[in-house]
């Protein structure tokens, strides 16, 4: 293997690939060859750096310089300036660096982060198993197989305090123990990679950037519970992650790290992929198992828990991608080390996907107990266009909206539930003053109604009624009694639904009612939407001083609700107006306003 002096790491995640990062890689390789530098400088396609807003991302090693929003045309400049002359290309440095920081080790967005689950994302080529092994990959599996008994391994996970990162927050070690104690001819390890929460993309990034960490953890889990088969249930919408997993599984088999008699220990374990087909409810483990069995993804009542009777009615342990990605490091560095990070009841770190009206959209990993303020304003770079922060939705459609008053709450499983939201998979959607909270709740309910499997009545019918009531309010036809109805219905749905989907789906409604009561009242009493998002509550008005009486608006109005003589001020008849906005588009004098 030749030794390279310098490396150019190019992000090959879904976001950056969509902005032509693969063209950048090809061009770089060609240009390096042209300059006879291809023996000294290596171009590496990596997983996600987490700076998705500013993609495509290119990182230069050994000096850790980060270049953002790189385009194929910038390639020659990077090579000629940075590689050959040793000067940084200023125009491509991230905004952060204007304070004199240009490398990833000192940038504000990285400083507060501790990376465990994402530790290899952006550092290794996910398609080369040697790179994973070179960064201590498969060492944990070796350790577990050679040095620890299954019970000792479970004990390490229990002591680490690791809780399920998929949303529920159930202690992982305990779950493994249940599965280990269950008896069955065949047991299964399942990885839940059906990331259904829209706006959360950490599982995809881990699978794209570091697939071997998940394979290794699944093998360790198999060893502890006596399973020889692993299944990864992955969304069909993630073609790149599927491809990288297939490559990783093939390489691991070739190296004897999957298959028969792993590392000569006598332990057999292999992994296959199962494609999902797009159903949010399949994040629920019993629904996921049914989907893997070729059925509709409908949940069933627990008990029996999957640990007793899961896939093909055999003991099955289901964990989420991020949970698995933590396992190898816990085994390598020890339970005490992991438990020393985070808070007492929520140890370790959590990956969050920042999205919405925030400057640095992307993936971050911070210790549990970090506050929302630190995440949104320090790491996330604050709100876009200098607008005011209004709310942040954590936990996706199952979570709730948190506001200004929650900004200093340390984030952990229990605090978020207490605040009326939940951790969920770690999606964080930031909203500013232009977002209407009633519309936001309606948006989430629209999602839930579509995704409800229809098996139990409270979820199937109740959520639909919630949606209709919210829709009525955004149309300006709601009353105060509707607000009580919303609250009562929400509680009934929560209490009586069969699975996690229905038990949490009213959370966006309840949390917005709690935190934005005034906004609901403004909608039902004054028929006003301050954010200006509910079209039906807006009025088009002609500003008398600015109107020259050109009649253009009256001519374009499809319902003929604008009256006025030539060269005189026109008036809109609000009772007929359908709020199409045609008049405003047509007016050349900016004489029509929306209030």
Partner 1 sequence: MCDSKIKLKEKDIAKIKEICEFFDNKAGELISVLHRCQSEFGYLPPEIQDVVSDFMNVPVAKIYGVVTFYSFFTMKPKGKYPISICTGTACYVRGAEKVLDEFKKELNLEVGETAADGKFSLSSLRCVGACGLAPVVLVGEKTYGRVAPDDVKEILAAYEN
Residues forming the site for partner 1 (CB under 8 A): 14-15, 18-19, 51-55, 195-201, 204-205, 236-238, 274-280, 291-297, 312, 353, 355-357, 361-362, 393, 396-397, 427, 429, 431, 435, 440, 443-444, 447, 453
Closer Cβ to partner 1, 53 or 519, answer by number:
53
In this structure, are residues 259 and 216 in contact, taking their beta carbons and an 8 Å threshold?
no
Closer Cβ to partner 1, 126 or 297, answer by number:
297
Rounded to a whole number, what is the distance in angstroms from the first to the last CA of the chain?
68
Q: Which two tokens stand for residue 514?
A: 């709690």
Give, in order, the Cα–Cα distances in Å from 34 to each of 21, 22, 24, 93, 551. Answer: 20, 19, 15, 25, 65
Asked whether the bond before 480 is cis by omega within 30 degrees of 0, the reply is no
Closer Cβ to partner 1, 207 or 592, answer by number:
207
Place of tokens 């990062």: 21
Asked whether the bond before 4 is cis by omega within 30 degrees of 0, the reply is no
Alpha-helical segments (H) within 90-210: 108-111, 129-134, 139-147, 150-160, 172-181, 202-209
| Minimum distance of partner 1 from residue 356's CB (angstroms) | 5
Closer Cβ to partner 1, 204 or 406, answer by number:
204
Backbone CA torsion sign across 117, 121, 124, 130 = positive
Distance of CA 470 to the CA centre of its chain: 26
| Minimum distance of partner 1 from residue 294's CB (angstroms) | 4
Closer Cβ to partner 1, 323 or 393, answer by number:
393
Closer Cβ to partner 1, 348 or 362, answer by number:
362
Backbone CA torsion sign across 74, 76, 79, 82 = negative
Angle between the 211-225 and 172-181 helix axes, to the nearest 10 degrees? 40
| Minimum distance of partner 1 from residue 433's CB (angstroms) | 12
| Minimum distance of partner 1 from residue 562's CB (angstroms) | 22
The 3-class SS string of 62-102 reads CCCEEECCCCHHHHHHHHHHHHHHCCCCHHHCCHHHHHCCC
Residues in the chain: 595
Distance of CA 82 to the CA centre of its chain: 34
Q: β-strands 562-563, 571-572: how paired?
A: antiparallel
Closer Cβ to partner 1, 536 or 574, answer by number:
536
| Minimum distance of partner 1 from residue 161's CB (angstroms) | 29
| Minimum distance of partner 1 from residue 201's CB (angstroms) | 4
DSSP state, residue 25:
H
| Minimum distance of partner 1 from residue 101's CB (angstroms) | 21
| Minimum distance of partner 1 from residue 292's CB (angstroms) | 8
| Minimum distance of partner 1 from residue 91's CB (angstroms) | 20
Closer Cβ to partner 1, 276 or 500, answer by number:
276
How crowded is residue 589: how many other Cβ atoms within 10 Å of its Cβ?
13
Q: Which two tokens stand for residue 531?
A: 């954010």
Closer Cβ to partner 1, 159 or 586, answer by number:
586
DSSP state, residue 545:
T
Closer Cβ to partner 1, 343 or 393, answer by number:
393
Backbone Cα Rg of the chain: 27
Burial of 174 (0-12, 13-18, 19+ CB in 10 A): middle
In this structure, are residues 317 and 179 in contact, taking their beta carbons and an 8 Å threshold?
yes
Q: What is the DSSP string of 451-496?
A: H--S-SHIIIIIHHHHHHHHHHHHTT---HHHHHHHHHHHHHHHHH
In this structure, are residues 564 and 554 in contact, taking their beta carbons and an 8 Å threshold?
yes
Closer Cβ to partner 1, 306 or 396, answer by number:
396
| Minimum distance of partner 1 from residue 122's CB (angstroms) | 14
| Three-state SS at 18 | helix
- Residue 156 pairs in a beta bridge with none
Closer Cβ to partner 1, 19 or 136, answer by number:
19
Closer Cβ to partner 1, 51 or 562, answer by number:
51
In this structure, are residues 437 and 402 in contact, taking their beta carbons and an 8 Å threshold?
no
Closer Cβ to partner 1, 342 or 356, answer by number:
356
Compute the distance between CA of residue 379 and CA of residue 366 in angstroms, rounded to an integer. 10
Compute the distance between CA of residue 294 and CA of residue 289 in angstroms, rounded to an integer. 9
Closer Cβ to partner 1, 32 or 190, answer by number:
190
Using CA atoms of 295, 298, 303, 308 in order, give the dihedral in degrees to the nearest 10.
30
| Minimum distance of partner 1 from residue 506's CB (angstroms) | 17
Give, in order, the Cα–Cα distances in Å from 129 to each of 257, 361, 527, 567. Answer: 11, 29, 60, 77
């Amino acid at each position: 293997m030749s030794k390279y002096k310098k490396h150019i790491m190019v992000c090959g995640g879904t976001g950056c690939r969509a902005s032509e990062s693969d063209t950048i890689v090809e061009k770089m390789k060609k240009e390096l060859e042209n300059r006879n530098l291809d023996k000294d400088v290596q171009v590496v396609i990596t997983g996600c750096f987490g700076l998705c807003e500013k993609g495509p991302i290119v990182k230069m090693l050994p000096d850790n310089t980060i270049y953002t929003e790189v385009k194929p045309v910038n390639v020659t400049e990077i090579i000629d300036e940075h590689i050959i002359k040793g000067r940084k290309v200023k125009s491509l440095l991230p905004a952060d660096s204007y304070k004199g920081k240009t490398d990833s080790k000192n940038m504000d967005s990285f400083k507060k982060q501790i990376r465990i689950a994402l530790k290899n994302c952006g550092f290794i080529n996910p398609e080369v198993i040697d790179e994973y092994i070179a960064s201590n990959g498969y060492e944990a599996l070796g350790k577990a197989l050679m040095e620890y008994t299954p019970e000792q391994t479970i004990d390490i996970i229990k002591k680490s305090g690791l809780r399920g990162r998929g949303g529920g927050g159930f202690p992982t070690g305990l779950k493994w123990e249940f599965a280990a104690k269950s008896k069955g001819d065949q047991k299964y390890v399942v990885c839940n990679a059906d990331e259904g929460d829209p706006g959360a993309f950490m599982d995809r990034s881990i699978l794209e950037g570091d697939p071997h960490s998940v394979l290794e953890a699944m093998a360790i889990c198999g060893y502890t519970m006596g399973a020889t088969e692993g299944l990864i249930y992955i969304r069909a919408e993630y073609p790149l992650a599927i491809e990288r997993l297939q490559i990783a599984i093939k390489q691991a088999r070739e190296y004897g790290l999957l298959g028969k008699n792993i590392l000569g220990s006598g332990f057999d374990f292999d992994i296959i992929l199962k494609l999902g087909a797009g159903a949010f409810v399949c994040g629920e483990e019993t629904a996921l198992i049914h989907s893997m069995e070729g059925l509709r993804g409908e949940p069933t009542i627990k008990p029996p828990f999957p640990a007793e009777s899961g896939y093909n009615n055999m003991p099955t342990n289901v964990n989420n991608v991020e949970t698995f990605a933590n396992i190898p490091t816990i085994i390598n560095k020890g339970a005490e080390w992991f438990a020393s990070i985070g808070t007492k009841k929520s140890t370790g770190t959590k990956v969050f996907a920042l999205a919405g009206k925030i400057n640095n959209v992307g993936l971050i990993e911070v210790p549990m107990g970090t506050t929302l303020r630190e995440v949104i304003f320090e790491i996330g770079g604050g709100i876009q266009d200098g607008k005011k922060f209004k709310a942040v939705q954590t936990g996706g459609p199952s979570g709730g909206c948190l506001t200004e008053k929650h900004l200093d709450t340390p984030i952990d499983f229990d605090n978020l539930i207490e605040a009326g939201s939940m951790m969920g998979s770690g999606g964080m959607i930031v909203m500013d003053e232009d977002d209407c909270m009633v519309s936001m709740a309606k948006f989430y309910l629209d999602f839930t109604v579509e995704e409800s499997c229809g098996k139990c009545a409270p979820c199937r019918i109740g959520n639909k009624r919630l949606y209709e009531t919210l829709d009525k309010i955004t149309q300006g036809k709601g009353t105060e009694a509707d607000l009580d109805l919303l609250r009562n219905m929400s509680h009934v749905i929560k209490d009586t639904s069969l699975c996690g989907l229905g038990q949490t789906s009213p959370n966006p409604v309840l949390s917005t009612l709690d935190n934005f009561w005034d906004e609901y009242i403004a909608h039902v009493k004054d028929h006003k939407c301050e954010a200006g998002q509910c079209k039906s509550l807006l009025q088009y008005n002609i500003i008398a001083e600015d109107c020259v009486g050109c009649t253009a608006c009256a001519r374009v109005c499809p319902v003929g609700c604008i009256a006025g003589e030539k060269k005189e001020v026109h008036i809109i008849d609000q009772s007929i107006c359908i709020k199409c906005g045609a008049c405003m588009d047509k007016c050349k004098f900016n004489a029509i306003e929306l209030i």
